Amino acid sequence: MSHLLPLALRSAWNRRHTLGLTLLAIVLAVTLLLGIERVRQDARAGFAHSVSGTDLVVGARASPIQLILYAVFRIGETTHDMSWEAARMLAERPEVAWTIPLALGDSHLGYPVVGTSADYFVHFRHGDRQPLRFAGGRPFEALFEAVLGAEVAQRLGYRLGDRITLTHGGGGFTGAEHDDKPFTVVGVLARTGTPVDRSVHISLQAMEAIHLDWQGGAPIPGFSIPAELVGKFDLTPKSVTAVLVGLHDRAAVFALQRELDGYRAEPLMAVLPGVALSQLWDLLAVAERALLAMSTLVVAVGLAGMVAVVLAGLGERRRELAILRSVGARPRDLFALLALEGFAVTLLGALLGLLLVTVLAAGLGPWLQASYGIAPSHAWPTAQEWQWLGWVLAVGTLASLLPGYRAYRLSLADGLTPRI
Amino acid sequence: MAGPVIALRDLVFRWPGQTGPCLDIAALRVEAGEQVFVHGPSGSGKSTLLNLLAGVLVPDGGELRALDVDLPRLSAAARDRFRVDHVGLIFQQFNLIPYLSVLDNVLLPCRFSPRRRQRASADGGDARAAAAALLTHLDLAESLWQRPATALSVGQQQRVAAARALIGRPEIVIADEPTSALDAARQAAFLDLLRRECAAADAALLFVSHDQRLAGVFPRQLAMGEINRATGAAS
Ligand SMILES: Nc1ncnc2c1ncn2[C@@H]1O[C@H](COP(=O)(O)OP(=O)(O)OP(=O)(O)O)[C@@H](O)[C@H]1O
Ligand SMILES: [Mg+2]
């Protein structure tokens, strides 16, 4: 065997161009496989980390996934709200440590506007229980002040002190601007990689104020309250979309959930965010599996290409095999020679693919984070990835047995005089 | 070496899928150091016989002894080992591995056979020196040794093949039409060199050709038609 290795290397070097292309195909296939797998896992992790530290999400009764879509992802049209009384009731319960009320519905140039309280900046957690940080400025204090998520500020080029107008509803209707009551940007949050980055935050009172002279989604004709005068009105919110709840003791979560689900005064619903998030993710699992199937196919094509190239080259190598036979190589040596080549190409391809993925993850990480909110969680391969590589290697090796076997048969049939 | 290097009796060989035997030889003996010219028309079974003597094929019947070893009794792996230890082979053309240098091609048997390596070292101090000596004897200038085998003319390639067959002094050298790709002048020159080196290495030479003109220089000649009783082979 050891005397074959240098021969195998020289022979492979002699055919480096075709083998190089095969290697490239395998490297790219492995990169794709691992890359897709990484993005999938990181996307899932990012998804699951879009809210953390929240024990319950409470809202008007609807589907749990819908509630999560509003409360966490700020997507969708709110149809039912819960009353402010219910939100206050929640906040005053002894087992509740904190609440963050959320009122959705308005937007700014397509970005959702979130009416909330100052507690948002204190208690909201994302990722690995990380609090929100201010990249600049401070939380809102006066009525018409807004705090922007990182992406809103960056994409729209806003700075502290800029004035913005909000749009009633999801946008797209002219004349539905709250242009009589502009907001001043007083804070910009640091990037989180979560939907927070895409949100414009204002106080619940401000949310109430801009809708004082509105009814049913349109300004009340002939009735308008100037911004200076809104302070004379009662700005206590009437309803909120959802409330994020943190408990003193997590153990109380199921009891509270059950109690809220049976709340008499109005139909409420309490959702464990982790459970709902994974349900939501499962909805996307079909696409996920399709991606995985695709990348598996790409690897299969790469390996098949390798086998095809090695097999096709075998015709030209019959002389070489006969010469090796004449100087004492056994048919099984020739089998090993061919199988070894396939194994080596697959191994090299798998390792280079891994290297490429690692380099790409390190190089593209910040960009991925900024553009898609996907934070590459690790540069080094995980156990799962090693397992994938193991599979690729096993299949590649198995596939290389085919040319090996063919060489074995040929050398037995040809003996010292190859027929062509 | 006292006994014959090759001794066969009532040897029968039939290719799978063919009706009649390809070879049926009553008896054949080749003594140590003997130089034999084997000739016969195309398809008369010359190459088949060489494959049998080299232990690549196994006879269907009869006795086949090489260096007093009962070849058919050996396992396939042992026959492969026997071949590299005791037999040097030269073919009609394409003898060399294209991606190896001239010198590495000559040293191939030493890679596979410790015995050949040992004997080559005994000859030249080390195997490389022995290869160098052979190449020099066979008129191959030192400037060629490190070049890839493909950079040589056909005549030069055949001489490299001869050096490879002879390195480590195997007892038997088998040449299957090694000169048919050469012109007449080069044929004679190659033959001279090959015979001289075989004699120097004390190796028996079985030289196969359908070209009767080469027969003259050999002390012994065998016609396939005479030793082979099978009629099915020649067509
Ligand atoms: N690998 C093989 N499989 C089946 N039949 C074979 C094989 N090799 C040779 N034969 C048959 O054996 C017979 C003898 O072939 P062989 O090659 O020994 O002839 P030869 O005397 O060497 O001819 P040439 O002078 O053309 O080289 C032919 O009829 C051929 O068809
Ligand atoms: Mg022949």
Nearest-CA residue for ligand 1 atom 4 is B15
Whether residues B176 and A417 touch (CB distance < 8 A) is answered with yes
Q: How far is B7 from chain A (nearest CA, A)?
A: 21
pLDDT at B234: 42
From the CA of B15, the nearest ligand is 1
Please list the alpha-helical segments (H only) found in A15-62: 16-48
SS (H, E, C) B169-216: CCCEEEEECCCCCCCHHHHHHHHHHHHHHHHHHCCEEEEEECCHHHHH
pLDDT tens digit sequence for A394-414? 988 888 888 888 888 887 777
Tokens of B86: 């005791």
Q: How many A from CA of B179 to the centre of ligand 2?
A: 12
The lowest-confidence range among A72-86, A88-102, A340-354 is A72-86
Atom of ligand 1 nearest to the CA of B92: 27
> Could you identify the residue written with the tokens 């020649």?
B234
Whether residues A14 and B99 touch (CB distance < 8 A) is answered with yes
More confident residue, A407 or A416: A407
ipTM, 2 dp? 0.85
List A112's β-bridge partners, or say none.
A107
Which chain B residues have a beta carbon less than 8 Å from that of A417? 47, 51, 91, 176
Return the percentage of chain A with pLDDT > 70, whole number.
94
Domain boundaries, chain B: 32-56+75-227
Which chain B residues have a beta carbon less than 8 Å from that of A322? 91
pLDDT tens digit sequence for A201-234? 999 999 888 888 777 667 777 777 777 777 777 8
Question: pLDDT band at residue A172, thresholds of 50, 70 and 90?
Answer: low
DSSP secondary structure letter of residue A103: B
Which chain B residues have a beta carbon less than 8 Å from that of A324? 97, 108
- The residue of chain A nearest to residue B92, with distances taken between CA atoms, is A417
Tokens of A260: 């809220």
Q: What is the mean pLDDT of residues A372-382?
A: 68
Whether residue B56 lies within 8 A of chain A, CB to CB, comes out as yes
Which chain B residues have a beta carbon less than 8 Å from that of A316? none
pLDDT at A148: 95
For a ligand 1 pocket test, name from B13, B37, B47 the mutation site with the most ligand atoms within 8 angstroms of its C-beta. B47
pLDDT tens digit sequence for A244-270? 999 999 899 999 999 998 888 899 999
- Grouping H, G, I as helix, E, B as strand and the rest as coil, residue B54 is coil
- Asked whether the predicted pLDDT for residue A100 surpasses 90, the reply is yes
DSSP secondary structure letter of residue A238: S
Q: What is the overall mean pLDDT for chain A?
A: 85
Q: What is the mean pLDDT of residues A193-206?
A: 91
Average pLDDT per consecutive 10 residues, chain B (235 residues; last block may be shorter)? 82 88 90 90 88 89 90 89 90 84 91 89 86 88 88 88 91 88 81 88 90 86 85 49
Instruction: Report how far residue A59's alpha carbon sits from residue A50's, in angstroms, rounded to the nearest whole number.
Output: 18
Instruction: Report how far residue A154's alpha carbon sits from residue A396's, in angstroms, rounded to the nearest whole number.
Output: 47
Question: pLDDT band at residue A366, thresholds of 50, 70 and 90?
Answer: confident
pLDDT tens digit sequence for A141-166? 998 999 999 999 998 999 999 999 98
Among the listed residues A29, A58, A8, the one whose alpha carbon sits nearest the alpha carbon of residue A245: A58
Nearest-CA residue for ligand 1 atom 3 is B15
Instruction: Report how far residue A211's alpha carbon sits from residue B33's, in angstroms, rounded to the nearest whole number.
Output: 114
- Asked whether the predicted pLDDT for residue A174 surpasses 60, the reply is no
- The residue of chain A nearest to residue B56, with distances taken between CA atoms, is A415
Instruction: Report how far residue A298's alpha carbon sits from residue A293's, in angstroms, rounded to the nearest whole number.
Output: 9
pLDDT at A419: 63
A68 touches A102 (CB < 8 A): no
From the CA of B176, the nearest ligand is 2
pLDDT at A71: 86
- Predicted structure pTM score: 0.71
Instruction: Report how far residue B164's alpha carbon sits from residue A215's, in angstroms, rounded to the nearest whole number.
Output: 101
Among the listed residues B214, B158, B204, the one whose alpha carbon sits nearest the alpha carbon of residue B29: B204
pLDDT at B235: 42
Q: How far is B82 from chain A (nearest CA, A)?
A: 8
What's B32-56+75-227's CATH class? alpha beta
pLDDT tens digit sequence for A18-62? 889 889 988 988 888 888 888 877 777 777 778 888 999 999 988
> Could you identify the residue written with the tokens 């099978």?
B230
Residue A223 CB coordination number (10 Å): 10
Question: pLDDT band at residue A140, thresholds of 50, 70 and 90?
Answer: very high
Question: pLDDT band at residue A12, thresholds of 50, 70 and 90?
Answer: confident
Q: What is the mean pLDDT of residues A125-138?
A: 89
From the CA of B49, the nearest ligand is 1
Whether residues A416 and B50 touch (CB distance < 8 A) is answered with yes
Of B94, B96, B109, the CB nearest to A328: B109
Mutate to test the interface with A, among B89, B93, B112, B176 (most CBs of A within 10 A): B112
B71 touches B55 (CB < 8 A): yes
Among the listed residues B228, B210, B163, the one whose alpha carbon sits nearest the alpha carbon of residue B26: B228
Whether residue B108 lies within 8 A of chain A, CB to CB, comes out as yes
Which chain A residues have a beta carbon less than 8 Å from that of B163? none
A105 touches A29 (CB < 8 A): no
Q: How many A from CA of B53 to the centre of ligand 2?
A: 14
Whether residues B111 and A7 touch (CB distance < 8 A) is answered with yes
